[in-house]
Amino acid sequence: MKKALELLLCATMLMGLLAGCGGSTEQSTGDSGDGEESAASAKVAYLTPSLDVPFWRYVRYGIEDELGKSGIECVTYDSKDDANTQLSNAQDALTKQVDAIIISPTDSASCVSVLSAAEEAGVPVVICDIGTDSGEYVSYISTDNLAGGKAIGEYIASQLEPGTEVAQITLNQARINGVLRKDGFDEGIATNNLVDVDFKQMEKVNRSEGETYAQDLITAHPNLGAIFCHSEDPTMGAVSALEAAGRTDVLVAAFDCSPEIVEAIREGKVAGTSAQQPVLMGRYSAQAVTSYLAGEEVEKEITLDTLLVTKDNIDEVYDTLVEVALTEE
């Protein structure tokens, strides 16, 4: 599987910004593809969990910009973090005879229904992040969530005394990526015998949840030395909760990145993050679709590494972050 070093070498070539397709709410109908038609006449739907989450906007940019380079028409469907809405969006896209679907599932279990509907319609699907419990797909582009969780766990372990209590604000554990991040972090903190005493599962993955759960965790566990939050916006909610409580002794660890996370790392409010490469994930998803429609061989799985970002290296990795992770328009 391709790993981050290879992908980062490709990133510069990929970032030629040509006009892509917009996230319009109107979709054009047309003949469904047979896997051999020209890219210029193809139509692709991107099914995203929620455009309220910055990460998915970064993925959308990568998909739409990359498809636009081949003249492929694209429409993005916002599922509003609801599995039923995502299935309905998929059915709408199939009715409109798209030639391919790229899906970032709301969760791994519900993705199966979308894959089944697409298979019945003869429409190929590329999965971008999160993963599926089962079903047929052309390619799966993901992050090494286990290694990313372990990397940030090891960093936090290096900053705290052995035996220190830590907790997590996790993605829903119905998502494969959430399970892997949690397990990876536990592996990382074990390197200095830190103790994971509790975790809270998010549903909406927003700032409010991060703030509420951080308040709950420091109340229930007054001796916490760190909180690991699985997503960027909830991380900033956790920062707000700790500031309000005057808890400057609790480190905040993150997964993913945003301009706010970058600034918070510079200011010492966030200790570090395992940053995914969502723009690059989107580009590779789009490339998989383009190659498949052209009748070319497509790699079944492509896995990207995370970038460990801390106050010690933020300046040297910042330009790379902008290129592969922080562009949305």
Q: Is 298 exposed, middle or buried (0-12, 13-18, 19+ CB in 10 A)?
A: middle
For residue range 123-158, list pLDDT tens digits in order: 999 999 999 999 999 999 999 999 999 999 999 999
Q: Please state the CATH superfamily assignment of the domain spanning residues 145-275 in this structure.
A: Response regulator (3.40.50.2300)
Question: 4-143+277-305 has which CATH code?
Answer: 3.40.50.2300
Distance (Å) of CA 228 to CA 12, 273, 277, 304: 31, 9, 19, 21
For residue range 35-85, list pLDDT tens digits in order: 444 556 899 999 999 999 999 999 999 999 999 999 999 999 999 999 999
Q: Domain residues of the chain, as ranges?
A: 4-143+277-305, 145-275
pLDDT in tens, the chain (329 residues): 444 434 443 443 333 333 333 343 333 333 334 444 455 689 999 999 999 999 999 999 999 999 999 999 999 999 999 999 999 999 999 999 999 999 999 999 999 999 999 999 999 999 999 999 999 999 999 999 999 999 999 999 999 999 999 999 999 999 999 999 999 999 999 999 999 999 999 999 999 999 999 999 999 999 999 999 999 999 999 999 999 999 999 999 999 999 999 999 999 999 999 999 999 999 999 999 999 999 999 999 999 999 999 999 999 999 999 999 999 98
Domain 4-143+277-305 matches domain 145-275 at the CATH topology level: yes
Which residues, 6+ apart, have CB-to-CB distance to 57 below 8 Å?
51, 328
- Supply the pTM of this predicted model: 0.84
CB 229, CB 238: distance < 8 Å: yes
Total residue count of the chain as it appears in this document: 329
